[in-house]
Structure 1
Amino acid sequence: MSRHPEVKWAQRADKVFITVQLSDSKDAKVNLEPEGVFSFSGTAGTGNTHYELKLDLYDKVVVEESKINVGVRSIFCILEKAEKVWWKKLLRRDGKAPHYVKVDWDKWVDEDEDKGAGDLDLGGMDFSNFGGMGGMGDMGGMGDMMGGMGGMGEFEDSDDEGQEETKPADKVEGDAKPDEHGAGTSEKKEAEAST
Protein backbone atom coordinates (compact mmCIF):
# COMPACT_ATOMS: atom_id res chain seq x y z
CA MET A 1 0.00 0.00 0.00
CA SER A 2 1.32 3.45 -0.85
CA ARG A 3 1.15 6.58 1.25
CA HIS A 4 0.70 10.24 0.36
CA PRO A 5 3.60 12.61 0.97
CA GLU A 6 2.86 16.05 2.41
CA VAL A 7 2.45 18.68 -0.30
CA LYS A 8 2.78 22.43 0.18
CA TRP A 9 1.70 25.00 -2.39
CA ALA A 10 1.71 28.72 -3.08
CA GLN A 11 1.04 30.81 -6.17
CA ARG A 12 1.63 33.97 -8.12
CA ALA A 13 -0.50 35.19 -11.03
CA ASP A 14 1.69 33.30 -13.50
CA LYS A 15 3.05 30.36 -11.44
CA VAL A 16 2.17 27.68 -8.91
CA PHE A 17 4.82 26.43 -6.47
CA ILE A 18 4.44 22.82 -5.35
CA THR A 19 6.78 21.24 -2.81
CA VAL A 20 6.56 17.50 -2.18
CA GLN A 21 7.97 17.02 1.34
CA LEU A 22 9.80 13.69 1.26
CA SER A 23 13.28 13.34 2.76
CA ASP A 24 15.82 11.08 1.07
CA SER A 25 13.42 10.07 -1.69
CA LYS A 26 14.56 7.39 -4.11
CA ASP A 27 13.30 6.75 -7.61
CA ALA A 28 11.32 10.00 -7.58
CA LYS A 29 9.13 10.31 -10.65
CA VAL A 30 7.16 13.47 -11.38
CA ASN A 31 4.75 13.81 -14.26
CA LEU A 32 3.01 17.00 -15.36
CA GLU A 33 0.33 17.11 -18.04
CA PRO A 34 -0.90 20.26 -19.83
CA GLU A 35 -4.47 19.68 -18.64
CA GLY A 36 -3.21 20.31 -15.11
CA VAL A 37 -2.52 16.81 -13.79
CA PHE A 38 0.46 16.57 -11.41
CA SER A 39 1.61 13.06 -10.42
CA PHE A 40 4.39 11.94 -8.10
CA SER A 41 5.74 8.56 -7.03
CA GLY A 42 8.83 7.49 -5.15
CA THR A 43 10.15 5.61 -2.15
CA ALA A 44 11.69 6.85 1.10
CA GLY A 45 12.68 5.72 4.57
CA THR A 46 14.48 2.67 5.89
CA GLY A 47 11.65 0.37 4.85
CA ASN A 48 11.51 1.86 1.33
CA THR A 49 7.91 2.95 1.86
CA HIS A 50 6.18 3.74 -1.45
CA TYR A 51 4.62 7.22 -1.79
CA GLU A 52 2.43 8.48 -4.58
CA LEU A 53 -0.13 11.12 -5.36
CA LYS A 54 -2.11 12.56 -8.22
CA LEU A 55 -3.40 16.13 -8.12
CA ASP A 56 -5.95 17.49 -10.59
CA LEU A 57 -4.89 21.13 -10.58
CA TYR A 58 -7.39 23.98 -10.79
CA ASP A 59 -6.43 24.91 -14.37
CA LYS A 60 -4.07 24.13 -17.23
CA VAL A 61 -0.28 24.52 -17.11
CA VAL A 62 2.55 24.94 -19.62
CA VAL A 63 4.71 21.84 -19.22
CA GLU A 64 7.63 23.17 -21.31
CA GLU A 65 7.97 26.30 -19.13
CA SER A 66 7.63 24.49 -15.79
CA LYS A 67 10.69 23.60 -13.72
CA ILE A 68 11.66 21.01 -11.12
CA ASN A 69 14.38 20.56 -8.49
CA VAL A 70 14.90 17.28 -6.66
CA GLY A 71 16.58 17.93 -3.34
CA VAL A 72 17.58 15.95 -0.29
CA ARG A 73 14.47 16.87 1.70
CA SER A 74 11.90 17.67 -0.96
CA ILE A 75 10.96 17.95 -4.62
CA PHE A 76 10.26 21.59 -5.53
CA CYS A 77 8.31 22.43 -8.70
CA ILE A 78 7.51 25.74 -10.35
CA LEU A 79 4.53 25.24 -12.63
CA GLU A 80 3.84 27.86 -15.27
CA LYS A 81 0.12 28.62 -15.54
CA ALA A 82 -1.47 28.54 -19.00
CA GLU A 83 -3.42 31.69 -18.10
CA LYS A 84 -1.89 34.36 -15.89
CA VAL A 85 -4.72 34.55 -13.36
CA TRP A 86 -4.98 33.79 -9.66
CA TRP A 87 -6.50 30.41 -8.91
CA LYS A 88 -9.22 30.23 -6.28
CA LYS A 89 -7.65 27.01 -4.97
CA LEU A 90 -5.06 24.42 -5.95
CA LEU A 91 -7.34 21.57 -6.90
CA ARG A 92 -10.22 21.33 -9.35
CA ARG A 93 -12.46 19.27 -7.10
CA ASP A 94 -15.15 20.63 -4.82
CA GLY A 95 -14.79 20.62 -1.08
CA LYS A 96 -11.73 20.77 1.11
CA ALA A 97 -8.28 19.80 -0.09
CA PRO A 98 -6.94 16.47 1.18
CA HIS A 99 -5.26 16.57 4.61
CA TYR A 100 -1.80 16.15 3.06
CA VAL A 101 -2.12 19.33 0.91
CA LYS A 102 -1.26 22.52 2.79
CA VAL A 103 -0.57 26.16 1.99
CA ASP A 104 3.13 27.04 1.96
CA TRP A 105 3.01 30.24 4.02
CA ASP A 106 6.78 30.77 3.55
CA LYS A 107 6.19 31.35 -0.17
CA TRP A 108 2.65 32.74 -0.10
CA VAL A 109 1.97 36.27 -1.33
CA ASP A 110 -1.46 37.89 -1.41
CA GLU A 111 -2.89 38.66 -4.83
CA ASP A 112 -2.68 42.44 -4.36
CA GLU A 113 1.02 42.17 -3.37
CA ASP A 114 2.03 39.90 -6.26
CA LYS A 115 5.19 41.06 -8.01
CA GLY A 116 5.75 37.77 -9.85
CA ALA A 117 8.15 35.00 -8.89
CA GLY A 118 11.04 37.47 -8.88
CA ASP A 119 10.35 38.14 -5.20
CA LEU A 120 10.97 34.47 -4.27
CA ASP A 121 14.51 33.60 -3.18
CA LEU A 122 15.29 30.22 -4.72
CA GLY A 123 18.71 30.01 -3.07
CA GLY A 124 20.55 29.15 -6.29
CA MET A 125 18.62 25.91 -6.92
CA ASP A 126 19.40 24.05 -10.09
CA PHE A 127 16.23 23.47 -12.09
CA SER A 128 15.46 21.27 -15.06
CA ASN A 129 12.53 21.93 -17.34
CA PHE A 130 9.74 19.37 -17.44
CA GLY A 131 9.61 19.96 -21.20
CA GLY A 132 13.33 19.30 -21.55
CA MET A 133 12.71 15.75 -20.38
CA GLY A 134 10.22 14.85 -23.05
CA GLY A 135 7.33 16.23 -21.00
CA MET A 136 7.54 13.23 -18.67
CA GLY A 137 9.43 14.82 -15.82
CA ASP A 138 10.86 11.43 -14.77
CA MET A 139 13.40 12.30 -12.13
CA GLY A 140 14.57 8.78 -11.30
CA GLY A 141 18.29 8.89 -10.46
CA MET A 142 18.72 12.55 -11.44
CA GLY A 143 18.65 13.98 -7.90
CA ASP A 144 22.44 13.65 -7.49
CA MET A 145 23.18 15.41 -10.78
CA MET A 146 20.88 18.34 -10.05
CA GLY A 147 22.28 19.32 -6.66
CA GLY A 148 20.23 19.11 -3.51
CA MET A 149 18.11 21.84 -2.07
CA GLY A 150 19.98 21.58 1.21
CA GLY A 151 16.80 21.99 3.20
CA MET A 152 13.95 24.41 3.29
CA GLY A 153 15.93 26.82 5.47
CA GLU A 154 16.84 28.65 2.30
CA PHE A 155 13.24 29.86 2.00
CA GLU A 156 12.88 31.11 5.53
CA ASP A 157 12.79 34.84 6.04
CA SER A 158 16.28 36.13 6.65
CA ASP A 159 15.35 39.63 7.77
CA ASP A 160 16.71 38.97 11.26
CA GLU A 161 20.02 37.44 10.24
CA GLY A 162 23.05 39.44 11.32
CA GLN A 163 21.00 41.87 13.35
CA GLU A 164 21.36 42.30 17.08
CA GLU A 165 18.31 41.80 19.16
CA THR A 166 17.23 45.13 20.62
CA LYS A 167 16.05 45.31 24.20
CA PRO A 168 14.04 48.06 25.82
CA ALA A 169 16.15 50.54 27.74
CA ASP A 170 16.64 49.56 31.38
CA LYS A 171 14.32 51.38 33.73
CA VAL A 172 15.96 53.84 36.03
CA GLU A 173 15.22 52.97 39.64
CA GLY A 174 12.26 54.97 40.84
CA ASP A 175 10.84 55.56 37.30
CA ALA A 176 7.74 53.53 38.06
CA LYS A 177 5.12 55.43 39.98
CA PRO A 178 3.67 53.53 42.95
CA ASP A 179 0.14 53.64 41.51
CA GLU A 180 1.26 52.38 38.06
CA HIS A 181 3.16 49.06 38.20
CA GLY A 182 3.10 48.59 41.96
CA ALA A 183 5.42 50.41 44.29
CA GLY A 184 8.99 50.74 43.03
CA THR A 185 11.79 49.33 45.16
CA SER A 186 12.90 52.68 46.55
CA GLU A 187 9.31 53.73 47.31
CA LYS A 188 8.69 50.47 49.23
CA LYS A 189 11.80 50.98 51.35
CA GLU A 190 10.82 54.58 52.12
CA ALA A 191 7.25 53.53 53.07
CA GLU A 192 8.55 50.74 55.37
CA ALA A 193 11.08 53.08 57.04
CA SER A 194 8.49 55.77 57.84
CA THR A 195 6.11 53.38 59.63
Structure 2
Amino acid sequence: MSRHPEVKWAQRVDKVYLTVLLPDAKNAKVNLEPEGVFTFSASAGAGDLLYELKLNLFDKVDVEESKINIGVRSIFCILEKAEKVWWKRLLREDGKAPHFIKVDWDKWVDEDEDNGANDLDLGGMDFSKFGGMGGMGGMGGMGGMGDDAMGDDFEDSDDEDQEVSKSDKNLEGGAKAEEEHGGASGEKKEAAASI
Protein backbone atom coordinates (compact mmCIF):
# COMPACT_ATOMS: atom_id res chain seq x y z
CA MET A 1 0.00 0.00 0.00
CA SER A 2 1.38 3.41 -0.92
CA ARG A 3 1.10 6.65 1.00
CA HIS A 4 0.78 10.26 -0.13
CA PRO A 5 3.55 12.74 0.63
CA GLU A 6 2.61 16.23 1.80
CA VAL A 7 2.42 18.72 -1.08
CA LYS A 8 2.53 22.52 -0.87
CA TRP A 9 1.60 24.78 -3.76
CA ALA A 10 1.49 28.43 -4.75
CA GLN A 11 0.97 30.17 -8.07
CA ARG A 12 1.72 33.20 -10.19
CA VAL A 13 -0.08 34.21 -13.35
CA ASP A 14 2.44 32.24 -15.45
CA LYS A 15 3.54 29.35 -13.18
CA VAL A 16 2.72 27.02 -10.31
CA TYR A 17 5.20 26.24 -7.53
CA LEU A 18 4.81 22.67 -6.30
CA THR A 19 6.84 21.27 -3.39
CA VAL A 20 6.65 17.57 -2.49
CA LEU A 21 7.84 17.25 1.11
CA LEU A 22 9.52 13.88 1.48
CA PRO A 23 12.87 13.87 3.33
CA ASP A 24 15.49 11.35 2.16
CA ALA A 25 13.43 10.21 -0.83
CA LYS A 26 14.98 7.32 -2.74
CA ASN A 27 14.39 6.42 -6.39
CA ALA A 28 12.28 9.54 -6.98
CA LYS A 29 10.32 9.42 -10.22
CA VAL A 30 8.56 12.55 -11.38
CA ASN A 31 6.53 12.97 -14.55
CA LEU A 32 4.65 15.92 -16.00
CA GLU A 33 2.34 15.67 -18.99
CA PRO A 34 1.19 18.62 -21.15
CA GLU A 35 -2.46 17.92 -20.26
CA GLY A 36 -1.59 18.82 -16.66
CA VAL A 37 -1.03 15.40 -15.10
CA PHE A 38 1.71 15.40 -12.45
CA THR A 39 2.84 12.03 -11.06
CA PHE A 40 5.40 11.28 -8.38
CA SER A 41 6.69 8.13 -6.69
CA ALA A 42 9.55 7.45 -4.29
CA SER A 43 10.42 5.37 -1.27
CA ALA A 44 11.41 6.88 2.07
CA GLY A 45 11.62 6.15 5.76
CA ALA A 46 13.08 3.31 7.80
CA GLY A 47 11.04 0.65 6.01
CA ASP A 48 11.44 2.17 2.54
CA LEU A 49 7.72 2.88 2.40
CA LEU A 50 6.30 3.68 -1.04
CA TYR A 51 4.88 7.18 -1.57
CA GLU A 52 2.86 7.93 -4.69
CA LEU A 53 0.98 10.89 -6.02
CA LYS A 54 -1.09 11.69 -9.09
CA LEU A 55 -2.44 15.21 -9.52
CA ASN A 56 -4.76 16.27 -12.33
CA LEU A 57 -3.81 19.93 -12.45
CA PHE A 58 -6.40 22.62 -13.15
CA ASP A 59 -5.13 23.34 -16.67
CA LYS A 60 -2.44 22.47 -19.21
CA VAL A 61 1.26 23.08 -18.62
CA ASP A 62 4.35 23.68 -20.75
CA VAL A 63 6.51 20.63 -20.01
CA GLU A 64 9.55 21.93 -21.91
CA GLU A 65 9.78 25.11 -19.80
CA SER A 66 8.90 23.52 -16.44
CA LYS A 67 11.76 22.83 -14.03
CA ILE A 68 12.53 20.50 -11.15
CA ASN A 69 15.00 20.35 -8.24
CA ILE A 70 15.33 17.14 -6.24
CA GLY A 71 16.76 18.01 -2.84
CA VAL A 72 17.44 16.14 0.37
CA ARG A 73 14.19 17.21 2.09
CA SER A 74 11.87 17.97 -0.81
CA ILE A 75 11.25 17.94 -4.54
CA PHE A 76 10.60 21.48 -5.79
CA CYS A 77 8.95 22.04 -9.18
CA ILE A 78 8.23 25.17 -11.16
CA LEU A 79 5.41 24.26 -13.55
CA GLU A 80 4.99 26.73 -16.40
CA LYS A 81 1.34 27.25 -17.30
CA ALA A 82 0.40 26.76 -20.98
CA GLU A 83 -1.79 29.87 -20.74
CA LYS A 84 -0.84 32.80 -18.53
CA VAL A 85 -4.05 32.89 -16.49
CA TRP A 86 -4.77 32.68 -12.77
CA TRP A 87 -6.07 29.22 -11.80
CA LYS A 88 -9.13 29.00 -9.52
CA ARG A 89 -7.53 26.05 -7.70
CA LEU A 90 -4.68 23.56 -8.11
CA LEU A 91 -6.70 20.52 -9.15
CA ARG A 92 -9.16 20.01 -12.00
CA GLU A 93 -11.69 18.24 -9.76
CA ASP A 94 -14.28 20.32 -7.91
CA GLY A 95 -14.59 20.10 -4.16
CA LYS A 96 -12.18 20.20 -1.28
CA ALA A 97 -8.52 19.41 -2.01
CA PRO A 98 -7.12 16.20 -0.46
CA HIS A 99 -5.79 16.58 3.09
CA PHE A 100 -2.16 16.16 1.98
CA ILE A 101 -2.27 19.26 -0.30
CA LYS A 102 -1.72 22.61 1.41
CA VAL A 103 -1.15 26.17 0.30
CA ASP A 104 2.47 27.31 0.52
CA TRP A 105 1.92 30.67 2.21
CA ASP A 106 5.66 31.45 2.04
CA LYS A 107 5.46 31.57 -1.76
CA TRP A 108 1.86 32.69 -2.22
CA VAL A 109 0.99 35.98 -3.95
CA ASP A 110 -2.59 37.16 -4.42
CA GLU A 111 -3.84 37.61 -7.98
CA ASP A 112 -4.18 41.38 -7.65
CA GLU A 113 -0.59 41.65 -6.35
CA ASP A 114 0.96 39.48 -9.09
CA ASN A 115 2.91 41.71 -11.47
CA GLY A 116 4.30 38.80 -13.48
CA ALA A 117 7.83 39.29 -12.15
CA ASN A 118 9.64 36.29 -10.71
CA ASP A 119 10.28 37.72 -7.25
CA LEU A 120 10.77 34.35 -5.54
CA ASP A 121 14.26 33.83 -4.10
CA LEU A 122 15.23 30.28 -5.11
CA GLY A 123 18.50 30.33 -3.19
CA GLY A 124 20.66 29.32 -6.16
CA MET A 125 18.90 25.96 -6.67
CA ASP A 126 20.05 24.02 -9.70
CA PHE A 127 17.00 23.22 -11.78
CA SER A 128 16.73 20.66 -14.56
CA LYS A 129 14.05 20.95 -17.18
CA PHE A 130 11.34 18.30 -17.22
CA GLY A 131 11.31 18.10 -21.01
CA GLY A 132 15.09 17.78 -21.30
CA MET A 133 15.31 14.79 -18.98
CA GLY A 134 13.76 12.20 -21.29
CA GLY A 135 13.26 8.60 -20.27
CA MET A 136 9.51 8.78 -19.65
CA GLY A 137 8.03 7.69 -22.97
CA GLY A 138 8.54 10.99 -24.78
CA MET A 139 6.29 12.87 -22.38
CA GLY A 140 9.18 14.47 -20.54
CA GLY A 141 9.88 13.74 -16.95
CA MET A 142 12.40 12.39 -14.60
CA GLY A 143 12.70 8.75 -13.86
CA GLY A 144 14.81 6.63 -11.60
CA MET A 145 16.86 9.35 -9.96
CA GLY A 146 18.99 7.38 -7.54
CA ASP A 147 21.10 8.74 -4.72
CA ASP A 148 24.15 8.98 -6.99
CA ALA A 149 22.27 11.11 -9.53
CA MET A 150 21.47 13.79 -6.99
CA GLY A 151 25.12 14.67 -6.45
CA ASP A 152 26.50 16.67 -3.58
CA ASP A 153 24.84 19.95 -4.61
CA PHE A 154 21.88 19.46 -2.32
CA GLU A 155 23.55 18.48 0.94
CA ASP A 156 22.47 20.29 4.08
CA SER A 157 24.36 23.46 4.73
CA ASP A 158 25.88 24.46 8.02
CA ASP A 159 24.71 28.06 7.63
CA GLU A 160 22.16 27.69 10.41
CA ASP A 161 24.84 26.59 12.88
CA GLN A 162 27.06 29.46 11.82
CA GLU A 163 24.24 31.96 12.35
CA VAL A 164 23.61 30.62 15.84
CA SER A 165 27.32 30.83 16.61
CA LYS A 166 27.44 34.43 15.42
CA SER A 167 24.48 35.39 17.62
CA ASP A 168 26.05 33.64 20.61
CA LYS A 169 29.25 35.61 20.03
CA ASN A 170 27.23 38.83 19.75
CA LEU A 171 25.48 38.05 23.03
CA GLU A 172 28.78 37.33 24.76
CA GLY A 173 30.33 40.48 23.32
CA GLY A 174 27.31 42.55 24.44
CA ALA A 175 27.49 41.14 27.96
CA LYS A 176 31.24 41.91 28.13
CA ALA A 177 30.63 45.47 26.93
CA GLU A 178 27.96 45.98 29.60
CA GLU A 179 30.28 44.57 32.28
CA GLU A 180 33.02 46.99 31.23
CA HIS A 181 30.58 49.88 31.55
CA GLY A 182 29.24 48.53 34.86
CA GLY A 183 25.63 48.29 33.66
CA ALA A 184 24.75 44.58 33.65
CA SER A 185 23.02 43.07 36.65
CA GLY A 186 23.28 39.36 37.52
CA GLU A 187 19.73 38.73 36.23
CA LYS A 188 20.51 40.23 32.83
CA LYS A 189 23.67 38.15 32.54
CA GLU A 190 21.73 34.96 33.35
CA ALA A 191 18.98 35.84 30.84
CA ALA A 192 21.56 36.51 28.11
CA ALA A 193 23.36 33.27 28.88
CA SER A 194 20.15 31.22 28.68
CA ILE A 195 19.20 32.45 25.20
Contact 1:70–1:143, Cα closer than 8 Å, also in 2: no
Identity %, equivalent residues: 73
TM-score by length of 2: 0.74
Matches of 2:68 and 2:150, distance apart in 1: 14
Distance 1:146 1:114, change over 3 A: farther
Matches of 1:24 and 1:84, distance apart in 2: 34
Contact 1:5–1:22, Cα closer than 8 Å, also in 2: yes
Write the letter of the residue equivalent to 1:119. D
Distance 1:139 1:8, change over 3 A: farther
TM-score by length of 1: 0.74
Q: Give the match's secondary structure for 2:132.
A: helix
Name the counterpart of 1:179: none
1:139-167 Cα shifts (integer Å, max 9, x gaps): 5126523722749x99xxxxxxx9xxxxx
Matches within 5 A, 1:91-106: 91-106=91-106
Write the letter of the residue equivalent to 1:147. D
Q: Give the match's secondary structure for 2:54.
A: strand
Quick one: which of 116, 139, 148 aligns to 2:154?
Answer: 148
Matches of 1:149 and 1:115, distance apart in 2: 33
Contact 1:71–1:143, Cα closer than 8 Å, also in 2: no
Matches of 1:53 and 1:149, distance apart in 2: 25
Write the letter of the residue equivalent to 1:90. L
Distance 1:4 1:60, change over 3 A: same
Write the letter of the residue equivalent to 2:143. D
Q: Give the match's secondary structure for 2:46.
A: coil
1:136 aligns with 2:141: yes
Matches within 5 A, 1:108-123: 108-116=108-116, 118-123=118-123
Q: Give the match's secondary structure for 2:17.
A: strand
Distance 1:101 1:81, change over 3 A: same
Give the CA RMSD over aligned residues.
Answer: 2.2
Matches of 1:139 and 1:61, distance apart in 2: 22
1:73-92 Cα shifts (integer Å, max 9, x gaps): 00000000000000000000
Distance 1:23 1:143, change over 3 A: farther
Q: Give the match's secondary structure for 2:143.
A: coil
Name the counterpart of 2:8: 8
Structure 1 gaps of 5+ residues are 155-161, 163-195
Q: Give the match's secondary structure for 1:131.
A: coil
Matches of 2:76 and 2:115, distance apart in 1: 20
Give the count of matched residue pairs.
Answer: 155
Contact 1:41–1:51, Cα closer than 8 Å, also in 2: yes
Matches of 2:7 and 2:92, distance apart in 1: 16
